[in-house]
Amino acid sequence: MTPRLSPDARGALGRAGFSRRSFLKGSGALVVAFSSAGVMDTLSEVFAQGFNGTGSPQLDSWIAIGRDGIVTAYTGKCDFGQGLYTAQMQLVAEEVGVPLSRVRLIQCDTSITPDQGTTSGQQSHPTNFNHGNLALAGATARKALIQLASAKLGAPVSDLVARDGLVALKSNPSRSVAYGELIGGQRFNLQLDQDAARKHPKEWTVLGTPVPRVDMRDMVTGHFEFVHNVRVPNMLHGRVVRPPEVGATVGSVDESSVRDLPGVVKVVVKGNFVGVVAQKPWQAMQAAERLKVNWTRGSALSPHADLYAELRRQPARDTLLVDSGDVDARLGSAATVLKATYQHPYQMHGSMGSSCSVADVQGDKATIWSATQSAFPTRNTAAMLLGLKAENIRVVYVRGAGCYGINGADTVSYDAALLSQAAGRPVRVQLSRKDEMAWENYGNAFSIDQRAGLDATGNIAVWDYEAWSAARGGRPGYNTPGNVVTGFLAGSSPAPFAPRTPAPAPDTPLNNNSNTAPSYIAGRVRDSANGAGVIRSERVLSHRVLSPFFTGPLRAPERLQNTFAHECFMDEVASHVKADPVEYRLKHLSHARLMAAIRAAAKAANWEQRPSPRPNRQRTGKVTGRGVSCVCYEGDNGYVAMVAEVAVDQDTGRIQVTRLVVAQDCGPISNPDGMRNQIEGGALQGMSRALGEEVTWDDRKITSIDWRSYRTLPLGFAPPVVDIVLLNQTDVEACGSGETSITVVAPAIGNAVFDATGIRLRQVPFTPERVLAALRASTE
């Protein structure tokens, strides 16, 4: 990948001020990604984009065809390692009807691609692969090409077929015309056509096939350009100096403390934002170490050990998603009431690469090379921080290390922009490992109470969910740069927090976007019933409190924490009534696709039907067990079930996950190997989060600041066998698949540990110390 500009192309684009229209006048082959080709000095003739996160209604914003038949597509959904770049190329090739080799794809460049907001929440498939946006653009282009060919060839549309870059007569395939001849170098001047038919998955020849990643070869041989590799002429290197403690503010900065260091160009202070700029990275690092800043302490942090109690003591914003109104009465009259509390810590994205960005702010214009998932929102929020007009800023997406949500990519883009503005030259900033880990937007901590009332037959008659979670800031969106640390330090506020008690009664149909509601409830609000289950006495109540730390979406945000509590609790109830965990789930579900996924996973795992825990367990040594879990991801964006098999060493408390079986239905599959790669990675990342990952702090500061203090699984362990069943559904909408498998891992493992040992783990991560403590407690 990383197509580079040829010298001719560079000249042409420079003369044209990088305008789309000018590309089209020339050869389509000129249209390639900019990477670090240079600093843009004009922003003329930007094509109409629809700057509102929703893409563009104009076909020409999405697709251009050169005289040589090269199809250049523009997308606002970016690849950060999940394989979306290749999948979107397949989509364009399929819909427009050209071989993959003739597709070029430009992703997330605010001067030339449609504004599709943020790439997140496994929404790229729902957004771009169904009947809108990039998919509809492809279908519209194909329909337009056929109409143009009809006029040119004098043949009826019904006798024409578009494929392999040609429109040919069905009745006489030797009569054809090439796309380049029909439209090459010209605009379509069409709106996206809702009547343009997409190809049915049964007709696919490119989509639906395991096309290898187009970037793999460059990645594996060290040629791929990451944002960390962007170099522009005259570039300096910056380093930020973050507060040493949470809540600390700048008292004074002694610039003379670094004046004698070689290469130091500038010390930058803006509010509580402090940074240094130097000629070389090593010089900037040394200057940042040496710079004397007097910090004023903020208030002390509540102890880490007190996290979950503290969550319940704060003023909260309460939300009722579902409330059938009879929950307390039904719990009062139930034959049996079961109750359990689940705790999930703050966890971090912990990208392999500390975040990096290059910015060039010159006068009232700026270019920012950024690995942000939100190119357009970053443009607007950077404009606020810099005091510039958004339309004068260009954000060019260049891939960073895998982010898994909002890592440091947004904040470091602001860092680079602020330092460049102060220095008057392009500045590259790469965060230190500690600055990345101590100040990123963590995944939220949760404490969740579950209660279920059983009827006389042992079925669940009433489900009551009540959760406390902590949040602060988040994605900056288009107008809140203070949602991440740099914006905050430079003077912007995070999104306001407004406590609210009690919660208003629910009055809109259940949107289970955060999987706050368990799958097993009916989800009735007024006349709607959007749940996936049958339990009609139901309450889902959330308390959101203010976190001392920045938080934000971390792969399967909130859905993972909630699903941990739902799926472990379902297992507890099944065990209590001595029911098989698979059967018991199916009994409480109404959602056919989720039920099919559970059955498929159980079948592939050769699931032994019986209640948990396993009978006749040994009390010492190594024991084995199996557990199941499932979710309708985001309520309606992918259906997944997992069976985990574990071995638990009861002497050491160590959990070894030996096998993970995943069955997944995400609609029509764009690229089966890409989907498998995502499922495998999600499953193992979920394992790492379930077994070891937890953000820690002392009374003043974050203490998980490197790979010794934040425990992630390395490459060097025996990975479980990962067996995957892909349930390819061709007559439904495409769902995402980047966050499905990770969501169900912790409960599947926890349930398997229970099956093996009879101990119930209700707090993530399942460290050996916690397993041992639970084992000891159970024998006392």
Partner 1 sequence: MSLLTLKVNGRSHQVDVDPATPLLYVLSDDLELRGPKFGCGLGQCGACTVIVNGQATRSCVTPVSAVGQNEITTLEGLGSPDAPHPLQRAFIDEQAAQCGFCLSGVVLTAKTFLDRNPRATDEQIQQALSGVLCRCFANVRMLKAIRRYADGRTA
Place of tokens 């859905």: 559
For the bound state, the minimum distance from the C-beta of residue 283 to partner 1, rounded and expressed in Å, comes to 8
Kindly list the residues in this chain that would bind partner 1 in the complex (CB under 8 A).
80-83, 212-213, 215-226, 228-229, 231, 237, 262, 280-283, 350-354, 356, 399-402, 404, 430, 432-433, 673, 677-678, 680-685, 687-688, 706-708, 712-719, 722
Place of tokens 């499953």: 683
For the bound state, the minimum distance from the C-beta of residue 207 to partner 1, rounded and expressed in Å, comes to 17
For 207-218, b where at least 16 C-beta lie within 10 A, e where not — what string?
bbeebebbbeee
Are 437 and 702 in contact by the 8 Å Cβ rule? The answer is: yes
For the bound state, the minimum distance from the C-beta of residue 229 to partner 1, rounded and expressed in Å, comes to 5
Token pair listed for 196: 């343009």
Are 125 and 241 in contact by the 8 Å Cβ rule? The answer is: no
Closest to partner 1 by CB, 283 vs 740, is 283
For the bound state, the minimum distance from the C-beta of residue 344 to partner 1, rounded and expressed in Å, comes to 19
Phi-psi category of 658—alpha, beta or left, where left has phi over 0 and alpha has psi -120 to 50?
Answer: alpha
For 353-372, b where at least 16 C-beta lie within 10 A, e where not — what string?
bbbbbbbbbeeebbbbbbbb
- Give the DSSP letter of residue 503: P
For the bound state, the minimum distance from the C-beta of residue 351 to partner 1, rounded and expressed in Å, comes to 6
Closest to partner 1 by CB, 325 vs 707, is 707
Closest to partner 1 by CB, 273 vs 404, is 404
Q: 564: exposed, middle or buried (C-beta count within 10 Å: 0-12, 13-18, 19+)?
A: buried
Closest to partner 1 by CB, 275 vs 400, is 400
Closest to partner 1 by CB, 406 vs 467, is 406
Maximum CA extent, the chain: 88
C-alpha 635: how far from its chain's center? 16
Closest to partner 1 by CB, 355 vs 537, is 355
Gyration radius of the chain's alpha carbons: 27
Closest to partner 1 by CB, 324 vs 685, is 685
Closest to partner 1 by CB, 165 vs 682, is 682
For the bound state, the minimum distance from the C-beta of residue 354 to partner 1, rounded and expressed in Å, comes to 6
Q: What distance in Å separates the CA atoms of residue 18 and residue 112, rounded to the nearest whole number?
A: 8
Q: What distance in Å separates the CA atoms of residue 167 and residue 90, rounded to the nearest whole number?
A: 19
Token pair listed for 665: 């239905």
For the bound state, the minimum distance from the C-beta of residue 228 to partner 1, rounded and expressed in Å, comes to 6
CA-nearest of 67, 74, 102, 63 to 189 is 63
One-letter amino acid for residue 585 of the chain: R
- φ, ψ of residue 613 to 5 degrees: the values are -75, 170
Closest to partner 1 by CB, 518 vs 553, is 553
Closest to partner 1 by CB, 211 vs 597, is 211
For the bound state, the minimum distance from the C-beta of residue 12 to partner 1, rounded and expressed in Å, comes to 25
Angle between helices 672-691 and 745-757 (to 10 degrees): 60
Q: What distance in Å separates the CA atoms of residue 84 and residue 119, rounded to the nearest whole number?
A: 10
| C-alpha torsion 595→600→606→611, nearest 10 | -10
Token pair listed for 315: 């003023």
Opening angle at CA 583, ends 577 and 586, nearest 5: 115
Are 600 and 663 in contact by the 8 Å Cβ rule? The answer is: yes
- φ, ψ of residue 752 to 5 degrees: the values are -70, -40
Closest to partner 1 by CB, 83 vs 506, is 83
Phi-psi category of 472—alpha, beta or left, where left has phi over 0 and alpha has psi -120 to 50?
Answer: beta
Tell me whether the omega of the peptide bond preceding residue 765 falls within 30 degrees of 0, making it cis. Answer: yes
Closest to partner 1 by CB, 300 vs 721, is 721
Describe the strand order of the beta sheet including 176-178 as a list of residue ranges.
160-163, 166-169, 176-178
For the bound state, the minimum distance from the C-beta of residue 353 to partner 1, rounded and expressed in Å, comes to 5
For the bound state, the minimum distance from the C-beta of residue 489 to partner 1, rounded and expressed in Å, comes to 22
For the bound state, the minimum distance from the C-beta of residue 67 to partner 1, rounded and expressed in Å, comes to 28
Closest to partner 1 by CB, 261 vs 503, is 261
Closest to partner 1 by CB, 354 vs 413, is 354
Strand 427-430, strand 236-240: pairing: parallel
Closest to partner 1 by CB, 537 vs 737, is 737
Strand 166-169, strand 249-254: pairing: unpaired
For 325-337, b where at least 16 C-beta lie within 10 A, e where not — what string?
eebeebbeebeee
For the bound state, the minimum distance from the C-beta of residue 389 to partner 1, rounded and expressed in Å, comes to 33
Task: Give 629's contacts (C-beta < 8 A, 6+ positions apart).
Answer: 563, 567, 568, 571, 641, 642, 644, 744, 745, 747, 748, 751
For the bound state, the minimum distance from the C-beta of residue 49 to partner 1, rounded and expressed in Å, comes to 27
For the bound state, the minimum distance from the C-beta of residue 440 to partner 1, rounded and expressed in Å, comes to 13
Angle between helices 84-92 and 133-153 (to 10 degrees): 20
SS3 460: strand
Closest to partner 1 by CB, 492 vs 664, is 664
One-letter amino acid for residue 310 of the chain: E
Closest to partner 1 by CB, 586 vs 647, is 647
For the bound state, the minimum distance from the C-beta of residue 298 to partner 1, rounded and expressed in Å, comes to 27
For the bound state, the minimum distance from the C-beta of residue 430 to partner 1, rounded and expressed in Å, comes to 6
Token pair listed for 56: 């563009």
For the bound state, the minimum distance from the C-beta of residue 575 to partner 1, rounded and expressed in Å, comes to 30
Place of tokens 């049964």: 202
Strand 524-525, strand 393-397: pairing: unpaired
For the bound state, the minimum distance from the C-beta of residue 696 to partner 1, rounded and expressed in Å, comes to 17
Closest to partner 1 by CB, 159 vs 673, is 673
Are 586 and 601 in contact by the 8 Å Cβ rule? The answer is: no
